[in-house]
Amino acid sequence: MKKLITGNEAIAYGALRAGVKAVTGYPGTPSTGCLSSLLAMNLVDTYVEWSVNEKVALEVAAGVAWSGHRALCTMKMSGLNVAYDSLISVAYSGCDGGLVVYVADDPGANAGMCEQDSRSFAVMADMPMLEPATVAETYALTKFAFDLSERIKGPVFLRLVTGIADSYAEVEIEQPVPVSQAAPLLIKDIQRFTKAGAVIATNQHRDLIQRLEQAGQITDEVRLNKLSLSVKPGGLGILASGIAAAYLEEGFEAAAPFGFNREDVSTLEIKVVHPFPVAEARKMLEHCQTILILEELEPLIERGIIVEAQRMGYRGKITGKLDGVFSRIGEYGVPQVVQGIESVLRLGIPENLLSGNTQALKLAAARPITVCAGCPHRGTYIAIDKAIKKLRLKKNEVMVTGDIGCTILGMNPPFDLIWTEISMGASVSLAQGYVHAGVKTPVIATIGDSTFFHAGIAGLVNAIQHQIDLTLVIMDNRWTAMTGMQVNPGTPCNNGASAYQEIDIARIIPALGIEHFWTVDPFDVEETAGVIHQAMTLPGVKVVLARQECAIQAQRQGKQAGKVRVVEENCNLCKLCLMVTGCSAFSLGANAIEIDPELCYGCGVCIETCHHDALVAEEA
C-alpha cells in the first residue's frame, strides 16, 4: 500500500516491518515524529515510550536487544551526547536482538542548538551507520538496519537530517512483520555484559572492531552504496552522501544547459557512512581524474577518500571542504551540487544558480520567536522581572540562566530576561558556577518540567549538597511542549495508557530537603513576583514551582482560563499591554486595542499591565 509519509514515519513503518518489539526515545526536533507516529498507532505488540531522557531510552532499548528482541531508540543529535556514555558501552557488548539507534541531525540549525555531525559518533563508537538520501530509502534501510544489527550482533546507527526527517514522499509500505513472542534470552555472561577489568574491556573492543569489519563486508555484498562509473575514464567523479545525494540529478539538470554532460560523470552515492566504503572509493579513484565530495557539515567522507588516495598514490584532484570550495555550515541543496560542478569544470554557470534562492531568505520576516497567547511562562517572565525591580536591581544586573524548551523564549523581547542556554538541565548547574565566580546579585535559574526531569534534577541535587545561594524557578506546564506536546514524568495523563504514574515535582522538591519551596500560579503575576522576590532575599537553595498547564494543550481539552474584554472607551492605544506581554492575541484597532477571542486564553496576565482599566476580566 502506498502512503504519503515523512522520513520520521518511514523509520516508524520500517521498524514495524522489521517486527520491532520496543521503541524508546526522547523528543527532539527533528527526530520527534518517528516515535510520535508509533504512539499514535496504539500498537498492541510493540511497546513504545517517551523516556525521561535519551540515556535512559537507550538503556531500556539495550535491555530489550540483550534479551534477543528488536528495539529502536530515537533521539536528536544533542540527545546522542546524553546517550553516548551508555551507547559506547553497549556497542562494546554487542547485542543479540537487533538494536537500531536513530539519530537526527539538523544542518542549518533549523531548530536551534548546534550543527552537530553525528557521523563522527559512529566512528568513535566503531558502530556501523546507515544514511538514506530519500524517504523511500529510509523505509528500506530501517528494515535492513535491524537485519544488519542481528547479523553482526551489534547496534547500528541510522542517521537522518532535517531535510529528510520532515520531508514527505509516497512510499510503498509492506505489511508489518508480527512481533516475536519468543521467550526473552537470559544470558549470564560477564565477559560480554560487564566492563570490569582490562581483559574484558579489550576483548570486547576487539569484538567490536570485528563486528564493524563484518558490517562493511555485508554492506559491500548487498551493494548498499550506489556506484556508477562513466564509460570514459579520467573524468569527474562525485561522492555524495545523505541528502546531498538526493540533489545530484537536479544539480546535473541545472548544469546541463552550460555544457555539463551527465554521461561523463561517475558517481558514488554513499548510504553506509561508517565503515567507509573503501573498495568503492578506490574504484572511483582508479577511474576518475578529479573527485568532488558533496556532504553536509564535516568533511568525513572527504577525509576517508583522501586516506585511500594517499595509499594508492592518487595523482588527481580531490575537492570539497578541505580545499575551501564548500562550507561546513548549513544545509546542502541543488546550488551546492551546481557549485561543485562549476568549481571543477568551469562551465561559466551564472552566480544565481550557485547561491540558490536568496530572495526567499530576504523576504523572511525578522521577528523574535515568543511564547503563545495564554502561555503560562509569560506570567513567570513578567513576575521575575517585577521581583528584580522590587530588589531595586536592573535586568542586566541579575543573571537568569535558561534552559532548553519553551522556557528559553524569555530571552527574546519583550521579556529580554534570560541570558544563557547550553543543554538540557544546564541552567541549574551553570547558575552555580556564576555564584562560585562571586556574582554578588541573586542568581536565578529557570527550567521547564520536562527538562528538569531529563537532567536538571542532578544539578539541583548538586546545589543542595553544596548549599548554593540560588533561586530555581521551575516553569511546569505539564507537557514537553516545544517538540509537540509529548508526555514527561510530570504529565498528569499519558493519553490513555493503562500503566502510568505521574511524578509530582511538588513532592520531589521537599523530599530533597529544600526548606524554601513554593508552588505558585504564574497567571497570578503579583503573587508569583512576591514569592520570587522573597526567594531572592533568602540564603541557600530556593525553589519556586510556577505551575499552570500549557495553554495550547489546555485549549485542546476544551479548557479556558477566563475571559478578558477590552473597554474601548478607556483605551488610549498606549500599547503598554502589548509591549509588556507581547501576546499575539492583541492587535491594534482603529480606536482601541483589540483581542482576538480565538487566540485569547483568558490568562489575565495582561489585565494589570493596563493603567487605564481598559482590560477587564469577564465571567467565562
Of 418, 577, 598, 620, which one interacts with ligand SF4 (CB under 6 A)?
577
List the x/- string, 317-356, binding to ligand SF4 by CB under 6 A. ----------------------------------------
Q: CB of residue 576 vs ligand SF4: minimum separation in angstroms?
A: 4
Of the candidate spans 206-214, 409-417, 509-517, 603-611, the one that interacts with ligand SF4 by CB under 6 A turns out to be: 603-611
Set of cell numbers at residue 559:
479548557
Helix (H, G, I), strand (E, B) or coil at 240: strand
| Sheet containing 541-547, strands listed edge to edge, beginning at the edge strand earlier in sequence | 400-401, 444-448, 470-476, 541-547, 516-520
Mask for 11-50, x = binds ligand SF4 (CB under 6 A)? ----------------------------------------
When binding is defined by CB under 6 A, the residue of 95, 152, 373, 509 that contacts ligand SF4 is 373
Cα distances (angstroms) measured from residue 45 to each of 41, 88, 178, 581: 11, 29, 8, 47
Q: Which is nearer to ligand SF4, 268 or 417 (CB)?
A: 417
Task: Report d(CA 402, CA 362) in Å as an integer.
Answer: 30
525 binds ligand SF4 (CB under 6 A): no
Q: Is 603 in the site for ligand SF4 (CB under 6 A)?
A: yes
Residue 313 CA to residue 54 CA, distance in Å, equals 44
For residue 598, the tally of other CB atoms under 10 A from its CB is: 8
Give 571's contacts (C-beta < 8 A, 6+ positions apart): 591, 592, 593, 610, 612, 614
**Closest C-alpha among 209, 225, 11, 223 to residue 123:** 209
Cell of 473: 524557578
- Least separation, in Å, of the C-beta of 479 and ligand SF4? 18
Q: Which of 441, 472, 614, 619 binds ligand SF4 (CB under 6 A)?
A: 614
* Contact between 409 and ligand SF4 per CB under 6 A: no
Closest distance of CB 506 from ligand SF4, Å: 24
Give the interface segment with ligand SF4, choosing from 184-192, 276-284, 289-297, 575-583 (CB under 6 A): 575-583
311 binds ligand SF4 (CB under 6 A): no
The residue within the footprint of ligand SF4, chosen from 574, 587, 589, 608 (CB under 6 A), is 574
**By CB under 6 A, residue 376 contacts ligand SF4:** no
Task: Give Cα 526 distance to the centre of its chain.
Answer: 36
Q: Which of 232, 495, 612, 620 binds ligand SF4 (CB under 6 A)?
A: 612
C-alpha cell at 48: 513504545
Nearest approach in angstroms of CB 85 to ligand SF4 is 42
| Residue 381 contacts ligand SF4 per CB under 6 A | no
Judged by CB, which is closer to ligand SF4: 190, or 620? 620
Instruction: Report, in Å, the least distance between residue 615 CB and ligand SF4.
Output: 5
Closest distance to ligand SF4 from the beta carbon of 388 (Å): 21
Beta carbon of residue 544, minimum distance to ligand SF4 (angstroms, whole number): 21
Stretch that binds ligand SF4, among 81-89, 348-356, 496-504, 597-605 (CB under 6 A): 597-605
The b/e string for 385-417 (b: 16+ C-beta within 10 A; e otherwise) is bbbbeeeeeeeeebbbbbbbbbbbbbbbebbeb
Q: CB–CB of 562/379 below 8 Å?
A: no
Q: Which stretch binds ligand SF4 (CB under 6 A): 49-57, 242-250, 393-401, 596-604?
A: 596-604
Q: Does 595 bind ligand SF4 (CB under 6 A)?
A: yes
User: Using CB under 6 A, which of 45, 581, 608, 616 touches ligand SF4?
Assistant: 581
Ordered alpha helix ranges (H), 116-224: 119-125, 135-152, 162-165, 190-193, 198-221
Q: Which of residues 541-570 bind ligand SF4 (CB under 6 A)?
A: 564
C-alpha 618, offset from chain centre = 41
**3-state SS, one letter per residue, for 316-358:** CEEECCCCCCCCCCCCCCHHHHHHHHHHHHCCCCCHHHHHCCH
Strands 168-172 and 2-6: antiparallel
Burial 77-86 (b: 16+ CB within 10 A, else e): bbbbbbbbeb
Per CB under 6 A, does 605 bind ligand SF4? yes
Comparing CB distances to ligand SF4, the nearer of 94 and 604 is 604
Q: Which of 494, 501, 496, 450 is nearest to 476 (CA)?
A: 450
The least CB distance from residue 616 to ligand SF4, in Å, is 10
Q: Strand, coil or helix: what is 268?
A: strand
Q: What are phi and psi of 247, to 5 degrees?
A: -95, 0
How many residues at the interface with ligand SF4, by CB under 6 A?
28
Which residues between 55 and 114 bind ligand SF4 (CB under 6 A)? none
Stretch that binds ligand SF4, among 61-69, 183-191, 298-306, 604-612 (CB under 6 A): 604-612
602 is a site residue for ligand SF4 (CB under 6 A) = yes
Written as one string, the DSSP assignment of 100-116 is: EEEEEE-TT-TTSS---
Grid coordinates of 390: 522590587
Which position among 351, 604, 608, 620 is part of the footprint of ligand SF4 (CB under 6 A)?
604
Q: Among 374, 405, 448, 522, which residue sits at the site for ligand SF4 (rule: CB under 6 A)? A: 374
Strand bridging mode 290-294 / 156-161? unpaired
Nearest CA to 54 among 39, 35, 67? 35
Minimum Å distance from CB 561 to ligand SF4?
7
Give the list of residues 6+ apart from residue 515 with CB closer than 8 angstroms, or none. Answer: 540
> Which of these segments, 31-39, 234-242, 430-438, 606-614, binds ligand SF4 (CB under 6 A)?
606-614
The residue assigned the cell 519553551 is 406
Least Cα distance to 425 among 103, 117, 82 occurs for 82
Q: Is 573 in the site for ligand SF4 (CB under 6 A)?
A: yes
By CB under 6 A, name the one of 575, 589, 608, 620 that touches ligand SF4: 575
Q: Rounded CA gap, 379 and 376, in Å? A: 6
The one segment of 113-121, 141-149, 323-331, 581-589 that binds ligand SF4 by CB under 6 A:
581-589
Task: Give the residue, chosen from 71, 243, 536, 600, that forms a contact with ligand SF4 under the rule CB under 6 A.
Answer: 600
Candidate list 572, 590, 591, 598; residue touching ligand SF4; CB under 6 A: 572
190 or 573: CB nearest ligand SF4: 573
Nearer to ligand SF4, 171 or 600 (CB): 600
Q: Which residues bind ligand SF4 (CB under 6 A)?
A: 373-374, 564, 571-577, 581, 583, 585-586, 593, 595, 600-606, 609-610, 612, 614-615
